[in-house]
Structures are given as structure tokens and as C-alpha cells.
Amino acid sequence: MSFLLDLSFDLKNKIKNLYKRSLFDYIVSAIIIIQSILLISFSFKQFCRFNLTHDFSIFSQAYYLIGHGDFNPFDTLQGFPYYQNHFELIMWPIAILFSPFNSSFILLIIQDISIILSEIVILVWVKQISDDNLFVRFLTLIILICNPGLYWGAAWDFHFESLATFFLCVSLYSLYKDRTKSVIVFSFLTLLCGDVSATYVIGAGITSLILRKNWKVGLTQIVMGLFLLVIVHLLDANKGDAISGSYGYLDPGRVNNLFSLFIAVITHPLIVGRVFIDRFKDIYANISLIGFLGLFSLWSLPTIITVLLPSALASYIALIVPGFQSTPMYFVGTLGTIYILMWLKQKVNYKFFWIVSMLLLINSIGWGIVWLPKLDTTWIRNDDRDAKVLNLIDTIVPKKDELIVQNGVSGRFASRPYFYTYQGASKISLRQGNNYFIFAPYTGIEGSSTIKVDQVENLLVKKFGAKILFIKNGIILLDLFSLNKKIIYLNGSSASIPVWTLRSEEGHFSFNSNKKSITLFSGVHSGYLLYGDYWNLLYGKEYIYHIKIKDLKGAAVVQLWDTSSNKLLEVRTIIPMPSFQNLKFKFFFNSSDYIRPYVFQGWGPFSDIPLQPTSKDSIEVRIWVPQYSDVSISSISMS
């Protein structure tokens, strides 16, 4: 009888534990589904708001051209065939498979789903190595979903690192399960994601060798990775990130291939060490996001090294800032952290295991609390009003014609054969026929000087005869007809800026007959007739601000703002005047007024050194007019 009672009690506990674990699995699944919805929704919002830039343009153009039958697409943004960008051959099957959708938004969906699938692989793996320990599985989930680097990577346009990471995770998991064929297949798929992914496969091969899992498989992976890098070198298919440009500083004039790069790293340890010291905070941030312990696991250390080392040494500092380039180490490194944590539990001390676990939990939640609320404001700068204007312009420009778009809003416009991003270049190549320009200096993820963009707009109209087709909210569409292929040089500058390049809150623009001269007229309401008039001025000097103004019936106010600190520096009043006047105002800027633009860097241990913005113009002139002022302004200037 007692035996039956014991059996009944034991069976009851097993059923109860099974129910608990099943419930936990449901909870994890629900969290992942919610995360997927939020991630794809964010990408959709980013896509609809035109907050995609140069990198997305590269992939979007290739996706469009391949999907429309051009199997050797030319990358007009960079000036060479697309395959020479990073040899990302997987773009061809993706573009062909999804061509019926005819939207580059598919690329963002692939990127998001790849992140989620990588997460699932790691969670399944952890469930097995932790003996289905619910707390360890929960900790793994928290480390992954609270990692802002994953979301920053997804928000930074599109890159194949996320898809390569998924293939890499499956390859490593197959190694863990001793599935040799699967290891090779998914290593091959990883290599299809480009030259960068070759380092991932090499790292996975080293993992196999040092763990003595299967030396033949490990050696095969290393050979596969090296073979791809040799092919890339022979085909000159690494122009998207040339070795000489990224690492040439290690040994100027000599670093032009992988072998010379390896020699430069070995023979210049002081330079390498100095770079690591300078970028320590960003290196720390990436390692902290995986919980630190992954550095000591043989499962993850090779991947961390092959991912972190090239990024840390690259001359372009943005590559070491937490983001898309570190995606593989975020997943594999988290796995390594759990491996070490389980070792502490089994071999060291159970109490120590809990102390370390709590510290990891606090660390991950801290990163999430500090950084995740900044995701939207960091990566989505356009409002619905700007997006509607850009969407309208996208329908106006014919696909066959050349289009040059300011980088900050360029991504969605790239689905065409001839496309360029304007990033302050001094010259632009024009093809025969209509050449359209879209400038949006006040919107998008943009670091260009607004005053320089305004000057270029004026130069295209005044010197090269471009027609102004559309103006709204400071977004401008120009059409420049070119009889022959030629290069135009945009080196000219002027202190005088036409008002049509600026923004107006309570006014409207009026074209003259040839659409080359526009006057700004006030409306019936009071408000800013003109704003967004930015200037890059030197502090400690005197300047004269010129305004061509006419028919002012009520007093107007000229305001000078320091936008770096949102501080009103000067105010001038314009008295009513019946006729045309060219007014001058003197302003003196004290160096003590300057405040360096603030860039969010996190807090305490949850901080890094983010990519600093390009120097922008911080002094803004705004002109306020009263109700029914009936005033017109044709140009402004600063000297």
C-alpha cells in the first residue's frame, strides 16, 4: 500500500514538473513571438519613414536588379559590379525567390527573422547543456532579448551578418550533435553571405579542432574559409571594405592583402595595442553584452576573436561600436557564457554559481533598461509628414532615370538601375537624359552640413540649370537634363542662400515663370515665416546677417539660436516697411556660448563610445512674423 502511495506521489510530482516545464516553454515561445512582432514592426516603421541610408541602398539596388533579370548588377553607388562589394552570393537566390514581392522590405524581414532564428538555436542548445534548468534557460533568454547590440544591428540598414550568424549557429550546433554533413552544409551557406563570413567559418573550424570534436571537419571548415578569401582576393571582390583602406595604417603602403595584414598585425604590436586601448570602452561594451564569461569558453572564444579583432582594428571606428558587425559573437558568446556558468555549478561551487548568475542577470537587464528606450529616437528621425512627402516624390521620379538622393533618406529610393547617394561629394557623374536630385537636409539620419547642402541646391539651379519640381517641408526635388554623359563639379559656394532651400511654418513659396527664382510669402497666421537657416560659424567673431525683405506691414522678429544647447543668443526686431529693403544685422558670438552637441553614451557600466555625428551647423536663424504681416523674403546671407 505504501509502495502505491509513493508511486502515486512520485507520478504526481513528475506530471507537475512536466506541466511547469511545458508552461515555461509556452512562456518562452510567447516572448519570442512578441519580440519578433516588435522587431518586424520597428523595421516596417523604419522603412515607411524612409530612415534607411547608404548601406541599405547598396543591397536594395542589387535586390531590385537581380529580381528584374539583371544577373550581373552594377553597383552605381560604389562604381563596380555588386559581386565585388563583399562577394555576398546569397543575394542572387534571395532576390530571385522573393522577386514577386517587388519590395526591398523583404531584406529587413530576412534580417529580423535571422536574429530570431539564431536566438531559438541558442535557446534549444542551452536547454540541452543545462539539463533543462529553467533558471539557466531564463537567464539565456534575458541576455539575448536585453542585448541592445542586436537591435542596433537590425536598425542599421541591412547587412548579411545576421543571416550568416543563423547559419553559423546551426553549424556549431550540428558540431555539438556530431552531425558532420550538417556542419559542412551550413558552413557553406555561411560562406555564401560574403567574405566577412569566411572568418566566422574559420573560427568555427578552430573551435572543432581545439575541442577535438572532429578534426577532419574542423580542418575542412578552415580550408573552406581560406579558399573563399583567396577567391575574393583574386576576383578583387572586397571593394566594399578594401583591406588597404581599413587596415593600411598598420603598415602604410604594404597592407594590401590578407597575408600582408597578418604580417602587419604580428610585426606592429605597439600600434595594435594602442588601437585596443583607444577603443577599449567599445570592446568592453561588446563583451559585457554577452556576459563576459564567453571569453573563457572554447565553444565561443574563436568566434569572439574572429569577429572582434577585425572590427577593433578597422580604421572605421563604427565597426567596433555595438551593432551588426558583432552579431555572431552576441549569440555564440552568450552560449559560451552559459557553458562556463554550468561549469561553475558542477565543478566549483553552487553558491558561487548563483552569485555569478545574479550578476549576469543584473548586467543584461541594465544594458536593456539604459539603451533600448533610445532605439526609436536614435534610428527613426522622420515624422509622418516628411514620410508622406518622400513617398510622393518616389512616385514622381521614373525608374529609368538617374536619381541622386541625400544619404539620410536614400535607402528606399535605390530600386532603380542608376542611383547615387549624396554625402557631400564635390563631383557627381550624370548620365544622358533626366537626372533627378532629392535633398532633405532637415530630415533622416543625416550628418551633412545643412548650409553646404543648401548651397549645392542653389548651385544646381543657378549654374547648371536644374528645374525645381517640388518643395515641401524643406524636402526638394530637382530635375537636371543632361545631353551627354558628364561630370559636374559642386565646389562652388556662396554666402547667399535662397529662401526656397529653407523651411517655413507660416508661409508659402511662389515660383516665377521659369521656376528658377522663388519668393517666400507670409500667410494669415503668426509664426515662423522662416526657420532651418543653419550656419557653421566661428565663435569669438562678428558676423553680419543680410535679409532681402519686402512689404512688411507688422513688426517681425529675427532670432539667433544655438541649436547645440537650444539657447536663444540674439533677438532683433524689424519695424514695418512699405517697400523692398536689404537689411543688415550684426551679431557677435562668444566662445563661452558654445556647448558641444550631446551624444547619448549610456550610463556607468552600461556605456560605450558611440559614433560621433558629423560636424553640423549649430547656429540657426529664425524669422517670426505677426498675423496678416503680408511680407515677402527672397534671400538671406551671412558674412
pLDDT attached to residue 367:
96
Looking at the fold, whether 370 and 500 belong to one and the same domain comes out as no
Task: Specify the pLDDT at position 19.
Answer: 53
Q: Is residue 372 part of a domain?
A: yes
Residues 331 and 200 in one domain: yes
pLDDT for residue 316: 82
With a cut of 90, say whether residue 538 has pLDDT above it: no
The more confident residue out of 165 and 559 is 165
Q: Is the pLDDT of residue 8 over 70?
A: no
In angstroms, what CA-CA distances link 572 with 18, 320, 539, 560, 630? Answer: 76, 47, 19, 9, 19
**What integer best gives the mean pLDDT of the chain?**
84
Residue 521 lies in a domain: yes
Confidence of residue 2 (pLDDT cuts 50, 70, 90): very low
- Tell me the pLDDT band of 210, cut-offs 50, 70 and 90: very high
Same domain, 372 and 513: no
Question: Is the CA virtual torsion 97, 194, 125, 120 positive or negative?
Answer: negative
Same-domain check for residues 363 and 506: no
User: Domain containing 629 — which CATH number?
Assistant: 2.60.120.260
Span 608-628, mean pLDDT? Answer: 70
- Domain span holding position 229: 27-48+104-237+279-378
Rounded CA separation 372/319 (Å): 20
* Residue 484 scores a pLDDT above 60: yes
Q: Which amino acid is at 29?
A: S
Report the Cα–Cα distance between both ends of the chain, in Å, rounded: 102
- Res 231: pLDDT: 94
How much is the pLDDT for 1? 46
Query: What was the pLDDT predicted at 102?
Result: 86
The pLDDT confidence band at residue 20, using thresholds 50, 70 and 90, is low
Q: Is residue 432 situated within a structural domain?
A: no
User: Which of these ranges, 149-153, 164-168, 177-181, 459-463, has the smallest mean pLDDT?
Assistant: 459-463
Residue 123 lies in a domain: yes
Instruction: Classify residue 293: in a domain, yes or no.
Output: yes
Q: Could you give the CA distance from residue 235 to residue 195 in angstroms, rounded to a whole number?
A: 12
Q: Of the residues 378, 395, 410, which one is the last residue of a structural domain? A: 378
pLDDT at position 5, please? 43
Range from 206-210, 274-278, 311-315, 428-432 carrying the lowest mean pLDDT: 428-432
* Across 83-91, average pLDDT: 94
Q: Is residue 505 part of a domain?
A: yes
Least confident segment among 54-63, 281-290, 521-530: 521-530
Would you say 24 and 137 are in contact if contact means Cβ atoms under 8 Å apart? yes
Q: Which H or E run contains 80?
A: strand 80-81
For the chain, give the percent of residues with pLDDT over 90.
47
Sign, CA torsion 561/562/568/571: negative
Instruction: Determine, yes or no, domain membership for 395.
Output: no
Using left for φ > 0, alpha for ψ between -120 and 50, and beta otherwise, residue 142 falls in alpha
Which has the minimum average pLDDT: 207-211, 376-380, 487-491, 509-513? 509-513
* Residues 204 and 187: beta-carbon distance below 8 Å: yes
- The number of domains in the chain is 2
Among 378, 408, 426, the domain boundary falls at: 378
Angle at 311 between CA 308 and CA 314, to 5 degrees: 145
Q: Is the pLDDT of residue 591 over 60?
A: no
Q: Please write the tens of the pLDDT for every residue from 317-367.
A: 888 889 999 999 999 999 999 999 999 998 888 889 999 999 999 999 999
How many other C-beta atoms are found inside a 10 Å radius of the C-beta of residue 488?
17
Would residue 438 count as lying in a domain?
A: no
Q: Is the pLDDT of residue 540 over 80?
A: no
Last residue of a domain, one of 327, 343, 378: 378
By mean pLDDT, which of 47-51, 67-71, 259-263, 294-298 is the weakest?
259-263
Tens digit of each residue's pLDDT (9 = 90 or more) over 239-253? 877 677 788 888 887
pLDDT at 561: 80
532 torsion bin: left (phi>0), alpha (psi -120 to 50), beta (else): left
